[in-house]
Chain A
């Protein structure tokens, strides 16, 4: 039996890694991937807490988060594709038309 705290620490680690990757990476798809990592860190925490408390709700919530993430992925990838069609690049430093 693995203690719950291990899972929580792992999920916190994943979340922080996601944040770091979001700011370090210079490419829209990878930034989006790091957001997915952060969402899944949340999922992991939910499941770990659900197991620890013996509540089924946590797992159901994870279902919802997964579907929401899929919807976000579909819209987000379409937007990134739009950017690629216009600029022929997905480097985030090339997304710079607006300054002020």
Chain B
């Protein structure tokens, strides 16, 4: 249905970020938390709008902006994710002497970039959304201006991110050359009709996939991830580990799903993605074993999780991928919230030794962190277990037995480094109590919400699964 409503979620978010930027320069109040509350208000409005327009299929700009259920579902979970990140960082920003207005506005702009990518059906618009997302992300990574690690993270993310964008542009040029259009459906039609330009098109598609592999951080395109995740401010790291990854998978599903059967039967792309998935699971988990920095451990863990989700894509089962991404959002944001809590003025505690005894000194945070780590490792009855189960079950049904065996072995390895953090928290004697500034209500709310999400998705996933089936069913074929 062609309607201006299709622009509403995007406009709400962009408007919010502009209002916050202007308020930030015009009103110089001491307590800038009100900017956070304003963004929470707008995000809630956006969420409610998305919920109301479920199933209505609004579209605009001749259908190149399409709010089908698939897009709306990701709008909603990414809105929730951003909301959680804003709540958890209310206190963190003042502790780190960063600028409130810049942080919230950039976060919302990044969210708007993700909205553009998710809801668009034209590759040019996807590219523009990707750039809105990436350019805001580069600035977000360097938000702690006095911290050298933060600036290094920023410059590394910038160089490798724009390197990946150049691949996307070049690949798009070749797809355009082969099919005379940048529309996804047009490209799909082109692939289904063999032409003499087939090689050109495959080359272009390969470049596009490489560029998204950079963004999602598949091995061997993962080298920027650990450094960027370690150096960025912790809430921003939580955002990077969830947002761009989810959006990358959405675009991959959108471009691969319609010609899975024609492309995957030809085996070249299938074999490449199979190898990438196996490598991602193996290397992500193995390198995580010898890390001592908690943020780096979670960075490698996020690489490994991308590998598991790719198994779902190879099994041609969208619903399990979407479910995995949903669970992953809650457990990863939860884990990073716990790390954000371990902060005092101007200092973050991110080394494993810092967590010695933290489970007893800070019982709430420690317990919640342990639950999230168990979920990431895939223990039942938590969400992480069910997510892995669905993905691997779908893969077994498609006969990808060896890939599933690799995945299960890799996740067994991963148990070691997740539990290592728990062991440090509960079985090591602390040198002294960490003087962290916790008991911050917003942070505890986020921890509680993430716990609720992980448990709900792990024990009673029924309601969400209905939503996800509805969402996946709306994909055009």
A residues touching B (Cβ–Cβ < 8 Å)?
8, 11, 15, 18, 22, 28, 31-32, 35, 38-39, 41-43, 45-46, 48-50, 52-53, 55, 57-58, 61, 64-65, 68, 71-72, 75-76, 79-80, 82-83, 86-87, 95-98, 100
Contact = CB atoms under 8 A, between A and B. Distances in A.
B171 to A, nearest CB: 8
B159 A28 contact: yes
Given A98-B230, A100-B291, A100-B293, A39 B151 contact: no
Interface string B142-168: 100100110111111011001101110
B21 interface: no
A39 B174 contact: no
Contacts of B124: 61, 64
B243 interface: no
The 7 closest A-B pairs by CB, nearest first: A42-B169, A45-B173, A38-B166, A49-B177, A42-B170, A68-B131, A46-B173
Contacts of A58: 176
B462 to A, nearest CB: 41
A57 B148 contact: no
Given A22-B159, A46-B173, A72-B134, 15 more contacts: A8-B177, A15-B170, A35-B159, A39-B165, A49-B177, A52-B177, A53-B177, A57-B176, A61-B176, A79-B139, A79-B151, A95-B156, A97-B231, A98-B227, A100-B291
B172 interface: yes
Given A22-B163, A82-B145, A100-B293, A28 B155 contact: yes
B148 A97 contact: yes
Contact of B292 (A18, A57, A87, A100): A100
B86 to A, nearest CB: 22
A23 to B, nearest CB: 10
Contacts of B293: 100
B151 A86 contact: yes
A50 to B, nearest CB: 8
Interface of B: 124, 127-128, 131, 134-135, 138-139, 142, 145, 148-149, 151-156, 158-159, 162-163, 165-167, 169-170, 172-174, 176-177, 180-182, 226-227, 230-231, 290-293, 296
Contacts of A15: 166, 170
Contacts of A80: 155
B160 to A, nearest CB: 9
A41 B173 CA distance: 9
A65 B166 CA distance: 10
A85 to B, nearest CB: 9
A42 B142 CA distance: 28
A79 B166 contact: no
A87 B148 contact: yes
Contacts of A72: 131, 134-135, 158, 162, 165
A39 B169 contact: yes
A26 B159 CA distance: 12
Given A38-B170, A83-B151, A76 B138 contact: yes
A48 B169 CA distance: 14
B176 A49 contact: yes
A37 B151 CA distance: 24
A79 B296 contact: no
Nearest to B149: A97
Contact of A71 (B131, B167, B291): B131
A76 B153 CA distance: 12
18 contacts: A11-B170, A38-B166, A41-B166, A42-B169, A42-B173, A45-B177, A48-B177, A52-B177, A57-B181, A61-B182, A71-B135, A72-B135, A75-B158, A79-B142, A86-B148, A97-B148, A97-B149, A100-B293
Contacts of B177: 8, 45, 48-49, 52-53
Contacts of A32: 159, 162
Contacts of B145: 82
Contacts of A75: 135, 138-139, 158
Contacts of A46: 172-173, 176
Given A72-B135, A75-B135, A98 B231 contact: yes
